[in-house]
Structures are given as structure tokens and as C-alpha cells.
Structure 1
Amino acid sequence: MFRIETHAISLVRRGLMAALIVAASVLIGATVALAESHGFAGLEGGTFAMGSGKHYREEAPVRQVTLQPFSIQKTEVTNAEFAAFVEDTGYVTTAEKDLDQSDYPGLPPDLLKAGSMVFAQPKDPVALNDINLWWRYVPGAQWRHPRGPESSIEGLEDHPVVQVSIEDAKAYAAWAGGRLPTEAEWEYAARGGLDGAQFSWGEDYDPSEGWKANTWQGVFPSIDTAEDGHHGSAPVGSYASNGYGLYDMAGNVWEYVSDWWIPGHPTKDQTNPGGPSKTLAEQFANSAVGARHVVKGGSWLCAPSYCFRYRPSARQPAERSLGSNHIGFRIVRDGVN
């Protein structure tokens, strides 16, 4: 079972904004077009069955959750949109900051360098019980260089931004006049009105009827046949929307939500839940890592045989201060805009 964590670099990385970083003008131009074409979907809220008793145990139990109206971004935040935020604010992301050795005396020098986690596809099949066989900490990996210093987002302006921490996502959301969704809001939106269905498009998935999400085909993690048209992230909105007009609520990249992670749901029905407390979440985390947050939706690295999590009820934990090249986010606003 995949876990987005690396104990050797279990960190809480902090820092303040730095000097203005000028993003490429082509990214900013794309931002305007994206904002006009995608926008937000207003959802009236209501009551739905949250969770699942049919899959992984952390998705249980199923209970009734009632939500007030909210609006959610139709797509994941793109590189172009994030670039506009950075240009306007001078924001420096978590992955761009070196660690202070005095704060982390036990870490080797290479892990003190600014960087992030990158998927490293093995050439041959490997055992699935050791994620270190396909994940690497890469100095210099960050949102502009998602696979390392030699990589670029040029030509990927309409792909979801990755290599951001949840703190980076929250900073963007505040700048954009929104916030991160709660897990309940995200799951309600992902279901698209299909209460209790296994997927965001219905109960079944037959690829012969057409690909519905950007996921992994082949033998994970060594062979991705990319039959769905993409290896790695896809441009946002590459597949059909769900019943609420939302894109990529399954696959492409995992998405941060505001809830702290614990391995399960409450047993009682709830109204507008905000998730467990940080104190409770710390009881289910390594002390060096600290409390983690929930990510939803699965990613292009999810395969039926390994990470069967491109479903609305699926959930995983993510460290607060460590990004990867398959986690992004979208934002919400209160009320129906």
C-alpha cells in the first residue's frame, strides 16, 4: 500500500516569503485563458453517503454527511495559475528552501538541500513492498522543475502544478480568494451526484468504452503502456467531466484537502465536518514526521493492481512539508459563486 512518506527526511520545513521571482510571461497569458474557461462550479450542498465499506479499511465506515453550499474549482490548479501567484507575491515554495543543519543535525548534507520526491520508474519489475525502489529525493526538484533541475514545465502550462506542499497550496488558495476543500466537500463534489457509486462516473469502469481518467496501465511501477494517452500528468480537463462539471476528480494527480489524516472515519453522521484535530492525527503519525493531511483522488501512478484509489472514497496521508510529482490541489469558495 502506497504511503507518501520518507522517514529519512521526515521534516517540518518552514520559511518566510523571499524576493520576487518573475515567471515566464507565457505562463501568465495562459492563466487568463484557463481562468476564463474553467472557473468554479457552484454546488448547493446536501446529504450524501461518505466513505466506503468495500475497499481499503481507512475509507470506512460509511455515514451520512450534510454540507452547506460551496463552489469548487472545475480543474486542478495549473502551472500557469501557480506561476501568476508566484509572480504577484514573490512566494517561495517549501521545496525551494534549504534546511538548517542545526535544526536537523542527524540528516546527511544531501538531504538538507532544497528538493522534493520524484518518481523513478524502474527498468524491471520490482517487489511492491518497498517504495524506495521507485521514489527518490531529488535536490533541485520543485514546481518549475518537477522531475529535477534538468526538467522544465515549458509546454506544460495547462498541466496541474506539482511539487508543492500543503502550505504552498494554502498560500495559493488565500491569494486566490478561496481555501482548500474539506475532505467531505471534495468527496461530495467528486461523486458528481452519484451517491454511493464506486467511481465519479458510475459503478463500473470498462476502458473499452473509453478512458475516463489518467491512471497507470501495465505492470506497476516498471511498465506504463499509457493506453489512456498519457504517461505522467495530463493537461487538466483531458477527460470527460463528472455530473457536476468537474474534471480529473479521479487520477491525474492526488489533491490536498484541509483535513488531518487518521486511518478511518467517525461512526456518527455529521454536518459540515472539518476533520479530526491535529492532536488526534499526531497519534497516527511518526513523531519525526508529525501529523499529516489527507490527499484524495488518486493519480497517474494508480493502477488497478496496486493503488486502486482513483475513486471518490479513496484517501491517503501526505506529509505537510514534502511534495512529489504526483500531488496537486484545487480550491473552493464558500457559497455558490
Structure 2
Amino acid sequence: MRKHCCTPGQTTRTPSGTKRPSVTGSFPADPILPEMVSLAGGEFLMGSAEPHAYPLDGEGPVRTESVPPYAVAATTVTVAQFDLFVTATGYLTDAERFGDSLVFEAALPHDARAHPRVAETPWWAIVGGADWRHPAGPDAEVDAVRDLADHPVVHVSRTDAEAFCRWSGTALPSEAQWEFASRGGLSQQPYPWGYERDPGGEARMNIWRGEFPGAVSTPTGKTFTAPARSYPPNGFGLFNTTGNVWEWTTGVFDQRRRDHRAVIRGGSHLCHESYCRRYRTSARSGTTPDSSSGHIGFRVITAK
């Protein structure tokens, strides 16, 4: 049975009518911007047929893919980096234009539970005023720019990620580019470091640990996301290509579907083995390109 517990789409929202400014330009010379890692590219085995794979998600069949040389960001785009973009352009994200975004229920302030829920996944609340600056909603004490500057930016749609790319002279990765980078030079291993999820009992990624969706059980507590450079990097020097936040790609989840759901990769801090094992290098999921939530971010690439 296929369950997209982590990736509900928002298909009924109506924009407020506020227009976004056009986005052009390039990064200023500033050390806060993403560190890019050059990859030689080449052929690799994409997909998986291992027992934890989801065949209905299109993880298989295992096939040989080839990617040209390119450079990929060592981390997902952080709140501080996205703030530079917004400050320079005045950009309004989809969450800001629509007026709401999806927040995991345990992240809400205790006095702010009266929000509509996603019917199939009621742990997701539709929170007015939740956005990249206010990841738990406007009633929470968390201000992302102040408190989470080195964390992945979240509550960004694929449209928002593409706007950042236009400004920065970067691009979103294709699925093949994303998976090649995530594997870190290993072949047909489910994790960027090998076969075992927690080698020697050591946690290597930020996922939900404990009963889901029970008590707060992520290592980071109520911030849920971890800093973008948490945990050891993979063999290419890339951080958190599994766990922490889902990452937008240019892929289409199922070409046969008319809604053309966009592909996200890598899993997030809300993935749990009892429900969603999509925190693996080959795993994929899909959601609508205008969706935003507290566990989807993005990583950028450039051509060499």
C-alpha cells in the first residue's frame, strides 16, 4: 500500500492576489552563500530493488543512468541564504501569497491547536500565516531568521525554489543528478554511508525516532529541523542528503497523472520506519509544485 504520509499536497488554495516581483540577478559576493562541490559525473545504477523499496513509487527498476559533470551545494539552502534572496528581490513565497502552509501538529504552540487538518494525514495542520519566516505559524515564538539561520529553509514550494535559482544563477537537480550526489560514490546502498541505517547504533540522519506521530521524538526537539551541516557528510562532502528535509527536484512523479506531481527526494525529519521509509538514497515522493510545509526545502546545482 502506498502512503504519502509526509507529502500532502495543497490543491485548494487561492492566491491572495498579491503579485510577486520579477526575479533576476545573481548572488552578491558573500561567504554565507552555498558552498558548491564539483562532481565528475558518470554512469551509476539508479533506483532500488531492495526489500525496503516502494515499487509503486517508481523506485525501480534498477537501471544505468549517466550524468555529466556538475557542481552541487554541500547543503540545502539555509534560512540565512533565502533571507538574502528575499531581501534583494522582495520575493513573496507561495505560502505568503496563499496565506497558509502545512505545519506538523507537535510544532504548534499549545494554545494554537484550532486549525483545519489534512483529512488523510491529520497530524498536518493548515496554519494561516505559517511561512519560511514563521515555520510554526505566527503565534509561535520561533522566528526562523533569528533562531534558525543555519537550518534548511522550509515552507518553500518548487516555484519558490525555482525563483531562488533564477536569482542565484543555479538550478534544481534532476532526479538522476540528485541521486548520484546523494549516494556519495557508493553503489546500490540505501544510505549515503552504506547499508545499515544506524551503523554501530550511531544516528547518521535526522528522522523521527520513537512512536509516530506521538511525543516529540526527533533529536532536535521542537525545532524539528537540524542545522544544514549536521551529521557526517557523505563521500562527496554533502550533508543531510537523507533525512532532515525533503528536497525539490525537476522530476515528475508519474507521467501518467494529469496533475504532474513534482518529485521530492531524501525524506525528512518526519519519516518513520513504521509508516514511511523514504529516508533512503533511491526513495522518491511527489506533491503539487505549489505545496509548502515545514519539512520541504531544496538544494541547488550548477553546470560545469
- State the TM-score bracket (shorter-chain normalisation): 0.7 to 0.9
1:211-230 to structure 2, matched below 5 A, reads: 211-226=203-218, 228-230=219-221
Q: 1:115 to 1:307 in 2, by over 3 A?
A: same
- Quickly say closer, same or farther: Cα 1:85–1:61, change in 2 above 3 A: same
Give the match for residue 114 of structure 2. none
Distance 1:6 1:192, change over 3 A: closer
Task: Give 2:39's match in structure 1, choosing from 32, 38, 43.
Answer: 43
Q: 1:328 — aligned with what?
A: 297
What's the TM-score, normalizing by structure 1? 0.77
Q: Which residue of 2 aligns with 1:135?
A: 124
Task: Report the equivalent of 2:231.
Answer: 239
1:165 is matched with which residue? 157
Distance 1:145 1:243, change over 3 A: same
- CA shift, 1:14, in A, is 8.4
Deviation at 1:79, TM superposition (A): 0.4
Structure 2 length-normalised TM = 0.85
- Secondary structure at the residue paired with 2:121? helix
Name the aligned partner's letter for residue 118 of structure 1: V
Q: Distance in 1 between matches of 2:247 and 2:16?
A: 20
SS of 1:9's equivalent in the other structure is coil
2:106, 2:216 within 8 Å by CA — same for their partners in 1?
no
Q: 1:129-164 deviations in whole A, cap 9, x for unaligned?
A: 964320111111111111111232121000100001
C-alpha separation between the residues in 1 aligned to 2:105 and 2:199? 26
Query: Does structure 2 conserve the Cα–Cα contact (< 8 Å) formed by 1:233 and 1:326?
Result: yes
Aligned length in residues = 280
Gap change, CA 1:253 and 1:7, over 3 Å in 2: closer
Match of residue 279 from structure 2: 310
Q: Tell me the secondary structure at the aligned position of residue 184 of structure 1.
A: helix
- Aligned to 2:61, the other structure's residue is in SS state coil
Q: 2:138 aligns with which of 139, 149, 152?
A: 149
Larger Rg, first or second structure (1 or 2): 1
Segments of structure 2 that go 5 or more residues without pairing to the other structure are 24-28, 111-117
Contact 1:214 1:230 in 2 (8 A): no
User: Is 2:20 the counterpart of 1:17?
Assistant: yes
SS in 2 for 1:295: strand
- 2:31 and 2:202 mapped to 1: Cα distance? 28
SS at match of 2:147: coil
Q: Do residues 201 (structure 1) and 201 (structure 2) align?
A: no
1:164·1:327 contact (CA, 8 Å) conserved in 2? yes
- Separation in 1, partners of 2:106, 2:270: 10
Give 3-state SS (helix, strand or coil) of 1:134's partner.
strand
Letter in 1 for 2:135: P
The answer on 1:180 being equivalent to 2:169 is: no
Q: Structure 2 counterpart of 1:149, which letter?
A: P
Give distance in 2, aligned partners of 1:233 and 1:319. Answer: 22
SS at match of 2:72: strand
Query: Shift of residue 56 of structure 1?
Result: 0.3
Tell me: CA distance 1:19–1:314, structure 2 relative to 1, closer, same or farther (3 Å). closer
Is the contact between residue 163 and residue 328 of structure 1 (CA under 8 Å) also seen in structure 2?
A: yes
CA RMSD of aligned residues (A): 2.6
Cα separation, 2, equivalents of 1:42 and 1:235: 22
Q: Does structure 1 conserve the Cα–Cα contact (< 8 Å) formed by 2:267 and 2:280?
A: yes
Partner of 2:80: 80
Tell which deviates more after alignment, 2-11 or 244-253: 2-11
Q: Equivalent residue for 1:96?
A: 96
1:238 alignment partner AA:
S
Q: Secondary structure at the match of 1:252?
A: coil
Contact 2:10 2:288 in 1 (8 A): no
Deviation per residue, 1:29-80 (Å, 9 max, x gap)? xx94433xx5111000010000011210121111000110000000000000
Tell me the residue number matched to 2:262.
293
Q: Quote how far apart the aligned CAs of 1:89 are.
A: 0.8
Query: What is the aligned partner in structure 2 of residue 2 from structure 1?
Result: 4
Q: 1:17 to 1:198 in 2, by over 3 A?
A: same
2:20 is matched by which residue type in structure 1? M
Q: Is the 8 A contact 2:15 2:97 kept in 1?
A: no
Structure 1 residues 323 and 311 mapped into 2: Cα distance closer, same or farther (>3 Å)?
same
Shift of 1:117: 1.0
Does 2:109 match 1:117? no
Residue of structure 1 equivalent to 2:54: 56
